[in-house]
Amino acid sequence: MRYIGLFESLTGASVKDCVQHGESLLFVVNPGNAGKAIGKRGSNIERVSKVLQKKVEVVEWADTLEDFVKSIFAPARILSVNLITNTDGSKRLIVVPHEEDQGLAIGKNGRNIQKARLLLKRYYDIEHVEIKSAKTLT
């Protein structure tokens, strides 16, 4: 809660949630607040990061699963999001990014996939997140 209050006072953005993700803090901001949270040229993120002495990331909340997934993987362009419910009740999400954005969607050492798994498990009870190439689907 301390992190949320500090983030809101430094950025003016309203925060839905804050999650520790490795060495960084991940703030889920309310719809329409991402720009305010980031600031011009990332100035707000930089300021919060210095105060907290942690890397800070921002994801904008969305009311639909597809829009939330696109927000998680931004700035990678996502072509499709497919939710599969297995017979045992577990859920699997297949995300297909634009061909040129595949590496960006995955992130260094799979960091963006880990971030997606963390958030999607927390909000949608989705256990598995996979990135598929648009080429393999055609």
Structural domain tally of the chain?
2
User: Residue 55 sits in a domain of what CATH number?
Assistant: 3.30.300.20
For residue 10, give the nearest of 2, 134, 88, 64 by alpha carbon.
2
Q: To the nearest whole percent, how much of the chain has pLDDT over 70?
A: 97
Enumerate the β-bridge partners of residue 93. Answer: 83, 129
- 74 & 132 share domain: yes
Strands (E), 41-98: 55-60, 78-85, 91-97
Position 133 confidence tier, pLDDT thresholds 50, 70, 90? confident
Q: Is the pLDDT of residue 77 over 80?
A: yes
- Give residue 136's pLDDT: 65
Structure token pair of residue 2: 């301390």
| Same domain assignment for residues 45 and 99 | no
Q: Which of 50, 46, 37 is nearest to 11 (CA)?
A: 37
